[in-house]
Structure 1
Amino acid sequence: MNPDARSDDRLDASADHVVRSIRADEWPAAKELRLAALRDPVAHLAFLETYEAAVGRPDSFWRERAAGAAEGVRERQQVVAVAPDGRWVGSVIVLVEEAGAPGALGDVSDVRQGHLVAVYVRPEVRGRGLTERLFSYALEWAWDVAGVERVRLFVDERNGRAEAFYRRFGFMPTGESVPVPGDPGARELEFVFKRP
């Protein structure tokens, strides 16, 4: 996959949505989708941020966030599903965690790995295969561009719907968990997908 080519946008034959990496100048769409995600009824289980905190951030924050996860960036990538009308309807971000360095949750891995975060698909397009397409694209980027050995994610133990999807897609539980930030009585379960 060529992450620097805008012609790499993908159109699945069974759907009319394009799945691709974002561009730095698309920060307004990235902001709008993130705020929509934070208003979702299960946002408290899926995200470590609140709508109230995010909505108050200045545009400079959203510009930097988009630029840091845009096509051509090697440390992270935001992948989106775009509807025919141009509206962003889903997203996932891949963070690259270096071997021996603290990961997104402060833990240290012995391998270079990807870490999927900020998974969201708008309710009106769920169940149409967009999450699978977002994950497939994200994993391809992780293998081909970032060169990681595995990709992991964490899911709140109370988010059974998300956990079922991750298992169905092929992520396997490691048996490791961490406390949910701000809610030490709940756990985030680690799942991994190893490079084929």
Structure 2
Amino acid sequence: MDFSIRVIRADEWEQTREIRLAALRDPIAHLAFLDTYEAAVQRPDSFWQERAEGASETGDGKARQFVAEAPDGSWVGTISILVERPSDEVRFGEPAKVDQTHIVGVYVRPEVRGTGVIDALFRAGVEWSWSLTEPVERVRLYVHEDNARAAAFYRRFGFVATGDRVAVPGHDRAMEEEYEVRRAS
């Protein structure tokens, strides 16, 4: 499949909303996301506008959302990267122990899975993490123990399970395993 990987633009909030809602309708969304379709679809346009602005090139630099864009302009996959510093407010899990980025919001449409889209999105996200002006020591993500397909990809891409586990906030479900990639010395 022919696609390009790029950072979203602030004015692309409608596409940001559409791909997020598609992700939340995926059969494994309950394992992969801390959000539900029912909650997300109710959010006002201003929420999606702020989300797109914050994750765009013109945002505050604390997040980036990358998309895989097909030649027809449709978005076939996405990944978001959050910058986490020990002094930051905790978004998920425990406070950051080191300067790091956190991969969230990973989604590839079913019809393009297995075409390399996910590899390209991860390369872009990890490369962005290592290129930050204020360097990070590691890139991390969490994966639910029942999400075997995702865990297998993360290992293949070079992420290593740390053994740390974190409770899923607001859910009565199993713990999630932390995976990380450390900056090469």
* Band of TM-score, shorter chain: over 0.9
How many residues are treated as equivalent by the alignment? 182
- Residue 178 of structure 2 aligns with which residue? 190
Deviates more, 1:68-77 or 1:176-185: 176-185
> Are residue 16 (structure 1) and residue 33 (structure 2) matched?
no
With 149-158 and 178-187 compared, the bigger mean Cα shift is at 178-187
Q: Please state how far the C-alpha of 1:145 moved relative to its aligned partner.
A: 2.5
> Residues 66-100 of structure 1: CA distance to partner in whole angstroms, max 9, x if unpaired?
00100143110001000110000100100000024
Structure 2 gaps of 5+ residues are none
Shift of 1:184: 4.0
User: Partner residue of 1:29?
Assistant: 15
2:49 corresponds to which of 63, 69, 72: 63
2-structure distance, mates of 1:77, 1:136: 13
1:43 paired residue number:
29
Per the TM alignment, residue 180 of structure 1 is displaced from its structure 2 partner at its CA by 2.1
Counterpart contact for 2:10–2:58, Cα < 8 Å: no
Using the size of structure 1 for normalisation, the TM-score is 0.89
Query: TM-score, normalising length from structure 2?
Result: 0.94
Identity of aligned residues (%): 57
Structure-to-structure mapping, 1:117-128, within 5 angstroms: 117-128=104-115
Please give the secondary structure, in 1, of the residue aligned with 2:49. helix
CA distance in 2, matches of 1:47, 1:29: 18
1:133 to 87, 104, 120: 120
CA pair 185-40 structure 1, distance change in 2 beyond 3 A: closer
Whichever residue aligns with residue 65 of structure 1, its letter is R
Q: Structure 1: where are the runs of 5+ without partners?
A: 1-14
Structure 1 segments of 4 or more deviating over 4 A? none
Matching residue of 1:79: 66
Q: Which residue of 1 aligns with 2:86?
A: 99
Is 1:109 paired with 2:96?
yes
